[in-house]
Amino acid sequence: MGKVAWGIGIVLGLFFLVRAIAELVVIDFSDPATYRDDWGGPSLVGVLLVHCGPGLLAAALMAVVFVRRSRRRRRLGTGSRRSAT
């Protein structure tokens, strides 16, 4: 069950991350008509918060998990190669 939860979390996090990047590419910052009817509209700040906020949150959470796992591996000695001598 834990592997399924991790898999769903990774897929969902990547979805939010790609969605945030796509939103930055798709909208025209100088033309309010491109984002007025989106969630968080009519202001640009609201649209970016609603569409890019979850992506930033997912990226931060993935970074924290990656750093914790790499520190744990380094502490346990499984992440580095050691010579036999």
Q: How confident is the model at residue 82 (pLDDT cuts 50, 70, 90)?
A: low
Nearest residue to 27 via CA among 46, 42, 39, 44:
44
Residue 32 domain-assigned (yes or no) = yes
Tell me the residue range of the domain where 51 lies. Answer: 2-75
Residue 84 domain-assigned (yes or no) = no
Nearest residue to 51 via CA among 67, 65, 64, 35:
35
- pLDDT per residue as tens digits for the range 38-73: 888 888 999 999 999 999 999 999 999 989 988 887
Nearest residue to 26 via CA among 11, 42, 40, 38:
38
Q: How many domains does the chain have?
A: 1
Share of the chain above pLDDT 90, in %: 42
Residue 81 domain-assigned (yes or no) = no
